[in-house]
């Protein structure tokens, strides 16, 4: 069983939804980022989603754009992102999924990049701007090197396309609960139950929900329906709000993570 499949199986056996935590790799610098990942892992995160810093992150709201900017300004590059993964692997077997853009994969050679990702300890690849129809090289390299694929379903995705997306996915389906970009929202999108029903009618893969989930109450609401809940901006904000003190970053990350993870427990 893969690390990703094991994480979802463990969550199900504990009557909860898996907690998927997003951080931008290298925000605000490599050393702090390694310690931030350790903080998340030690406080209940089931899957670590690492944003690969990119100069044009078109799916990201301002919070994650600025995180990528901080990481790039600190000198993060492809080799340092892989170094970060290797260092996380020194203390944890938590599944690691790259949240990335196709240019970063393509520019390094698709097969070579995914081979290096696997060697570093990456379990899955979510390439946001890569549709399944154009993902042949990524799918082949993922199968060859044992890196699972994650694809996105949006609120506007028609049923027949959900089936096509599911056929190209080996890890889990990521349901983007809102049109637009990442970021904190006051309320969870109202259409999640119907959307999950449409997706689950077409795949047996786990389905996670992200974009706009930032509070424990919102996590609880989504956890009752989905196999996993993704939170990003609320965690990235813990870094942004404490840039002058690494200790304060870790303390706030711990407090936020513990609170949000508690929301994944299901009542039945």
Residue with tokens 């492809």: 78
49 catalytic residue (yes or no):
yes
User: Rounded distance, CA 235 to CA 22, Å?
Assistant: 7
Helix (H) or strand (E) holding 87: helix 78-89
Among residues 60, 123, 148, 227, which one is catalytic? 60
Structure tokens at 109: 């050679």
User: Rounded distance, CA 268 to CA 262, Å?
Assistant: 15
* Cα–Cα separations (whole angstroms), residue 109 to 83, 87, 106, 247: 18, 24, 5, 38
Residue with tokens 């637009």: 180
Handedness of CA 67, 73, 75, 78 (dihedral sign): positive
User: Rounded distance, CA 55 to CA 264, Å?
Assistant: 33
Among residues 29, 42, 46, 49, which one is catalytic? 49
60 catalytic residue (yes or no):
yes
User: Rounded distance, CA 165 to CA 255, Å?
Assistant: 36
* Sheet strands (E) in 106-170: 124-127, 148-153
- If we measure between CA atoms, which residue out of 128, 129, 135 comes closest to residue 110? 135
The answer to whether the beta carbons of residues 32 and 83 sit under 8 Å apart is no
- What is the set of active-site residues? 49, 60
């Amino acid at each position: 069983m893969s690390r990703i499949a094991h994480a979802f199986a463990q969550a199900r056996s504990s009557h909860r939804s898996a907690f998927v935590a997003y951080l931008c790799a290298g925000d605000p610098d490599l050393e702090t980022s390694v310690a931030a990942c350790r903080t998340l892992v030690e406080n209940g995160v089931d899957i670590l989603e690492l944003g690969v810093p990119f100069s044009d992150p078109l799916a990201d709201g301002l919070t994650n754009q600025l995180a990528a900017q901080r990481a790039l300004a600190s000198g993060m590059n492809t080799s340092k992102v892989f170094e970060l993964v290797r260092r996380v692997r020194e203390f944890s077997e938590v599944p690691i999924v790259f949240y990335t853009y196709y240019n970063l994969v393509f520019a390094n050679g698709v097969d070579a990049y995914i081979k290096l990702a696997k060697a570093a300890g990456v379990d899955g690849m979510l390439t946001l701007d890569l549709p399944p129809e154009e993902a042949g090289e990524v799918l082949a390299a993922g199968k060859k090197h044992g890196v699972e694929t994650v694809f996105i379903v949006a609120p506007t995705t028609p049923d027949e396309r959900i089936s096509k997306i599911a056929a190209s996915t080996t890890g889990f389906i990521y349901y983007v609960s809102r049109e637009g970009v990442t970021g904190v929202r006051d309320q969870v999108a109202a259409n999640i139950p119907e959307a999950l029903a449409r997706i689950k009618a077409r795949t047996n893969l786990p389905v996670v929900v992200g974009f706009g989930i930032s509070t424990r109450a919102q996590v609880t609401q989504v956890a009752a329906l989905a196999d996993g809940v993704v939170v990003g901006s609320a965690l990235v904000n813990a870094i942004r709000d404490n840039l002058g003190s690494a200790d304060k970053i870790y303390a706030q990350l711990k407090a936020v993570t513990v609170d949000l993870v508690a929301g994944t427990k299901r009542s039945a």
